[in-house]
Every structure is written in structure tokens, then in C-alpha cells.
Amino acid sequence: MTGTGEGRVYPVILAGGFGTRLWPLSREAKPKHLLNLVGDLSLLQQTVQRARAVCGRMPCIITNEQHRFLVGAQVQEAVGDKCPIVLETIARNTAAAAAVAALWVRSRDPEGIVLLLPSDHFIGDTDGFRAAVVAAATAAARGMIVTFGIAPTGPETGYGYIRMGAAIAGAEGCQAVERFIEKPQRDKAQAMIDGGGHVWNAGMFAFRPEVMLDELKRFEPAVLAAAEASFDKAQRDLDFLRLDRETLAQAPSISIDYAVMERTDLAAVCPMQAPWGDLGSWQAIWEASGQDESGNVIQGDVLTADAQNVLVRSDRFLTAVVGVRDLVVVATGDAVLVAHKDRTQDVKHIVEQMKAQDRRELREHAVTQRPWGQYQRIDEGTGYQVKQIMLHPGASISLQLHHKRAEHWVVVQGLARVTKGEDVFLLRENESTYIPPLTRHRLENPGDTPLRIIEVQSGSYLGEDDIVRFEDVYGRVT
């Protein structure tokens, strides 16, 4: 989609969530939009590819500081190129994010159209999505704020609904919004389906920047003022545009639905003819995946015998199920979930218990991603912790020291360049070194293959916050 008018569509992807509804796979450190749930790419990667294919340009991504390097790496992996990434320095819901998206597009093309997309939706037909974007862009070019509607396939109680009104002149395929309806009870959802004229609210939007900014000024001026001030004071940080935290924090936390869509008289809906889902539960993952002849969805090292209509996923070790029906079994390196397929929304009760206990399994995986590579916890106990650390070719950790712990490094694969105090030396496979507390040190991979070491930490405190950085190529100097 190129040219003028409705052809100048600029996709902006919102990727700022910390979701746990798909625990134990989705966690704060790596939420669902960064996971491969359906297919070989993450939901974010699929969204980036789809947006670029339909709009003919790289999207802008609005994300948070914690996930910035992982987002950048996934985009590079998916499309072989970088894209603009804006950092929300504090979460302020989707109204502020929509304002930032409008300001970003306006700074590049005042007459362009913002296509605001969640990063965690599944869309099974790019051609159907493209047709809906074309129709929505036409209505948006005429001053409407367009949301996308999905024909209901059942009385879903986890989605909002839209009652569609009259057709919009000059925008074929789009209709006025007569009413937004909150997530209904099952009987009300069934009644809306039976009565017709209702669609699910997909939470994707198309609008001209000035139209959205004017409506925010009208209904939520504090959101607009904070977003504008934060955008005006934004600073470049490596490949990122970092919004000003102090001013962004002044924005009320409110969704774009409550702030604008349910109050404006410019709301329109464009039905999309494509398989869609926000994949908010393991049941939804099962429905969106290709089942075998027994109705099973199998991912990873899994064996089954006499199993039907199950989803079994193992990301690390062999998982076997025998004689079961309608179950979800998800095994990661440090946790296992077993749930009836009809009760997967109730994972939230397990999440609440983990929050109350401050469980690490809620926040991070056994394997933790870093911009230089990753580390995996192997064992831990009182006064010690064992990790496997992997550095990408050419990567390095920061020059750092620890106050309360010592580290023992053993190279098991690749070549390591080690800085220890004033000394710099190479370690090859099966060679090792010892880093005492209060010693400046750095690990680098000068080779063209991954570097893997076993690190044994020992000391009175082993938390990740016992670190002082002096030099860092990723801008994390203490």
C-alpha cells in the first residue's frame, strides 16, 4: 500500500505487555507476544511480517525497557532489518500509547494513517487482513477512527462486542459503531449472535494522527499533554527512542477504548474476514493450532498413548501422557501445568498464588535472555548457584564487579576472552579461571561460533542486582 490518501498507512505495533495468562510459558521476562505459540515465529514476529507485507514499510514498535533488546533481536531475525522502536519508560495503558503512535506518524507524514496493532494476535489469513486494512484506511482517510470487527464463531465471553450501525458512505465495507458492549455473560453473547449485527472487538485501529489527537484533547487532555511532553523530550538511546519518564508518568492510565472509542461520534467498524484470536488461553492455542487425527496438538519432546483432544507441549524434557482426554499439559525447564482444557482461563488463580508467594517462576524462565546471549540456571542452594552462559559470536558482557560473590568459569565450547583486573587473556575449551569478589571482570566471545561456559557462583548473596557496571555496549552502565 503506497501512494497518497488511504495508501499512506504506517503500522505501529504495541508490544508492552507483561502477560502471564499463558503461564508457565508466558512470564514477565518473556510474555506471550515474544513466544512461538502457533508456528515457528513469535506472535510479534508474525505481526511484523504481516504489517510490512500489507503496508509496504517497516512498522514502528512501542515496547518497554525490559524487553527492548529481545524485541530488536526478534525483528532482525524475522525480517533481516531493523525497525523504529519507541520505549515506554513507564506503563500508561493504550490511550497514551495511541497518542505516541499518532505523534510518531505525524512527525513523519501528517497526512498518513496510523494502523495500530497489538503484538499478540493470531491472524490466519494475510489476504483477509489486507482487505480489511484497505477498507479501514479508506474510512480513516475520511476522518473516522476505525476498529476491526470479527464475525463471532461462538458465544465467547472473553471478548468485547460491537453492535454495527449504518454503512459509511464512500468507505465500502465499514459501518458506524452503534454501541460497544463489555464482555458479556454467555446467554447475552448467544443472544447477540442469534440476533446478528454484532462482531467481536479485535482491538486494532486505523486513524489519521490529527483525528486521534483532537479526540484525546477533547476527552482526555491530560493523556495528550503527557504524551506530547514525553515525545518532545524523548532521547535517542542506541537504536531506541526513549520517551521521557517524568512527563509520561503524568498521563492517566486508561485504555483507548474508554478514553476515546466509547465516547467519540467518529467510531467506525470494519469487519475482517480472516481467522483471528488474541490467544488468551491454552484452549485458544489448541483451537488455533493444527490438530492431528486424534484432535491432539503436540509440541516438543512428547509421547502419547490413547490421548484425545489434548495439548501437550514440552520445551525441555520428555513428557508422556497416557489415556487422557481434554487436557492441557505444558512443561518448561522449571514448571509443569496440568489443566482441563475447559478450565485454562483459571490459570489466573495459580498466578495469584505465585504473586502472593513472590515466586521467581512467575517472573522469569529457567533460561533468561540477555542482549549478548542467554543464561540457564542448572542448580542452586545455600551460598551457591550454577549456570550455563552462552554468548553470541562477537558479543560481550559489561565490564563489572560484584560485592558479595565470587565466580568460577569453565569454558565448555568456543573461545573466551577474559578481563580480570588488569589482566586480559584467552580461555579455550576445558580451561577455567576464578573471579574473586570486588574484581573488575568481563567475558567476551571473540570467535565466530557461540561461546558456552559453566559459571559457579559462591558467596553470601547471589542476586542479579549485586552488580556494578563500568563499561557496557548496551548502554547499561551503573
CA distance 209 to 42: 29
pLDDT in tens, 52-107: 999 999 999 999 988 999 999 999 999 999 999 999 989 999 999 999 999 999 99
> Residue 257's pLDDT is what?
94
5 pLDDT above the threshold of 50:
no
335 pLDDT above the threshold of 90:
yes
Helix axes 43-55, 126-141, angle to 10 degrees: 60
> Residue 478's pLDDT is what?
60
Three-state SS for 170?
coil
| Side chain identity, residue 206 | A
Q: How confident is the model at residue 20 (pLDDT cuts 50, 70, 90)?
A: confident
Domain boundaries, the chain: 5-277, 282-356, 367-471
Biggest CA–CA distance in the chain, Å, is 77
Closest CA to 346 of 75, 22, 84: 22
pTM: 0.88
Closest CA to 162 of 128, 217, 209, 202: 202
> Residue 6's pLDDT is what?
46
1 pLDDT above the threshold of 60:
no
User: For residue 260, what is the DSSP state?
Assistant: I
> Residue 157's pLDDT is what?
82
> Residue 4's pLDDT is what?
36
pLDDT in tens, 179-200: 999 888 888 999 999 899 999 9
Closest CA to 424 of 440, 438, 436: 440
367-471 CATH: 2.60.120.10
Q: Are 117 and 257 in contact (CB under 8 A)?
A: no
330 pLDDT above the threshold of 90:
yes
Tell me the residue length of the chain: 478
- What cell does 128 get? 483477509
> Residue 143's pLDDT is what?
95
pLDDT in tens, 441-467: 999 999 999 999 999 999 999 988 999
CA distance 35 to 33: 6
Closest CA to 55 of 21, 118, 7: 7
**Where in 16-157 does DSSP place strands (E)?**
60-64, 85-88, 113-118, 122-123, 145-150
> Residue 148's pLDDT is what?
96
pLDDT in tens, 217-261: 999 999 999 999 999 999 998 889 999 999 999 999 999 999 999
Superfamily of domain 5-277: Spore Coat Polysaccharide Biosynthesis Protein SpsA; Chain A (3.90.550.10)
Q: How confident is the model at residue 468 (pLDDT cuts 50, 70, 90)?
A: very high
> Residue 3's pLDDT is what?
41
What does the mean pLDDT of the chain come to? 93
